[in-house]
Chain A
Amino acid sequence: MIYLDNAATTMFKPQQVIDAVVSAMSSMGNASRGAHGSALQASRTVYDTRCKLAKLFGCKSPDHVIFTCNSTEALNIAITGAIPHGSHVISTDLEHNSVLRPLYRLEEEQNVKLSFVPADQQGRIDYDDFEKLITPETSAIVCTHASNLLGTMVDLVRVGQIAKKHGLLLIVDASQTAGAAPIDMEAMNIDILCFTGHKGLMGPQGTGGLCVRDGLTIRPFKVGGSGIQSYNKHQPVEFPSCLEAGTLNGHGIAGLSAALDYLNEVTVDAIAAKEHALMERFYKGVSAIEGVKVYGDFSQPRTAIVTLNIRDYDSAMVSDALSEDYGIATRAGAHCAPRLHQALGTTAQGAVRFSISWFNTEEEIDQAIRAIEELAQED
């Protein structure tokens, strides 16, 4: 199989990630739950992973790295817990439903007003629109670092400057960029960075989290066991316990830790360079094929995604043909990105997304180009 659905999850993981999970499953106790050897080892693994993530993302305090089961949970915690009731929030048309649905819920249940920076038909946004949309009630900007549909990257340095200038909270969805592009919370003025472990970080599914700027208070999304302050009727206020009720995914975190070691060895810059080169190769190959429409502006910074349609073919049928006839895994349909599909005019047809990883090869890319060539010749 040629796996080109890495924006959904990176299916191929470094062997050391698999080994670390297997090892943890036969040796790990419960972190923060006891002082015996296996519980302490779990606490050490979890803390060590917090330290690695803090370093990777430029988060000042390792104890402000909170583990969740994915980006969606992290975004729910951030959006629900940090945005004041009745305030105004600015987001963008590039967002995934993991951002949109928590925002829509705040709109319906907590009188939060929403504005969206529009995307054009190439999936581009105008950064001046952020400032144009600010009102006296604006409390936050919530935006993705890169579109999961097109790969279009948002200039977070620029958005961070706007947020800082106007005293707004900046919550970032880094689902598509964590591990695939450099992120620096300080340089980008990010208050809350939400990430998943199973995509660019190449860790196990069921891992993810949020990094929180020192001094921010977030209302807990869930409360329960913390391993500390057992007689306190309320969730402890200390980080990370305030946002981590219940047993962590220690086995997954052990795998994520090994993945971070792997990333550190090969470097995020090297990964981004290789993925970008493969993406350019694929883009040049398919954009020259008659009947193929590629979406997005390839002159702008982007992640390694190429999204296309062939004539008016149903994207689901194209993706199915790629899978059944060529053994190529892609993602068709709406990609949980309704506003951007509306901007592109692809709500009816959907689109076929090819998303590339560090483990793909030029040969695989060339095979995928030939498959599109053949499909485009069919009636």
Chain B
Amino acid sequence: MKTKEPTLIITFANTPDAIAMEMFCKQNDLPGRLSPIPGALKAGCGLAWKAPADMEAAFIEKMNANNVRFAETHIIEL
């Protein structure tokens, strides 16, 4: 396994919200990708958005400003 590093994980209530997040990020040139939700976290949807840890505040601001639905954000070692 590769070396662990802090990673931003954004969780969702359902799959449409996760896919809508992916579309939003593509349209707005935001980094990251959809991945399975890490086992340490719990959310309705098994998909999570994985992105650089230092962008948590920026993501939250942009998601809230554009009514992008998400459940929680976490910084975890992955």
Give A contacts to B, CB under 8 Å. Answer: 31-32, 34-35, 40, 43-44, 46-47, 50, 62-63, 227-229, 236, 238-241
In the bound assembly, the distance between CA atoms of A40 and B14 in angstroms comes to 13
Known: A32-B15, A32-B45. 8 other contacts (CB 8 A): A31-B15, A43-B19, A43-B47, A228-B15, A238-B13, A239-B14, A240-B14, A241-B14
A224 shortest CB reach to chain B, Å: 16
A47→B15 contact, CB < 8 A = yes
Residues of A within 8 A of B45 (CB): 32, 227-228
A157 to chain B, nearest CB (A): 29
Can you name the residue of chain B whose Cβ is closest to the Cβ of A64? B16
The 8 Å CB contact of B14, one of A35, A44, A228, is A228
Q: How large is the interface on B (under 10, 10 to 19, 20 to 34, 35 or more residues)?
A: 10 to 19
Q: Which residues of B contact A (CB under 8 A)?
A: 13-20, 22-23, 34-36, 44-47
Given contacts A228-B14, A241-B14, contact A44 B22 (CB under 8 A): yes
Give the docked Cα–Cα distance between A121 and B44 (Å). Answer: 54
Which residue, B18, B19, B35, B46, has most C-beta atoms of chain A within 10 A?
B19
List residues of chain A with CB within 8 A of the CB of B23. 47
Smallest Cβ-Cβ distance to B37: which chain A residue? A35
Q: How long is the Cα–Cα vector from A79 to B71 in the complex, in angstroms?
A: 32
Known: A40-B34, A44-B22, A47-B20. A35 touches B46 (CB 8 A): yes
Evaluate contact between B44 and A236: CB separation under 8 angstroms. yes
CA distance A241 to B14 in the complex (A): 8
**A63-B14 Cα distance, complex, nearest whole Å:** 9
- CB-CB under 8 A for A229 and B44, given A35-B34, A35-B36: yes
Closest to B19 in A: A47
Cβ contacts under 8 Å, A239 to chain B: 14
A35, B35: Cβ atoms closer than 8 Å? yes
A240 to B34, CA, bound (A): 20
State in angstroms the CA–CA spacing of A47 and B17 once bound together.
9
- B16 proximity list for chain A (CB < 8 A): 47, 50, 62-63, 240
Give the complex CA separation of A46 and B23 in angstroms. Answer: 13
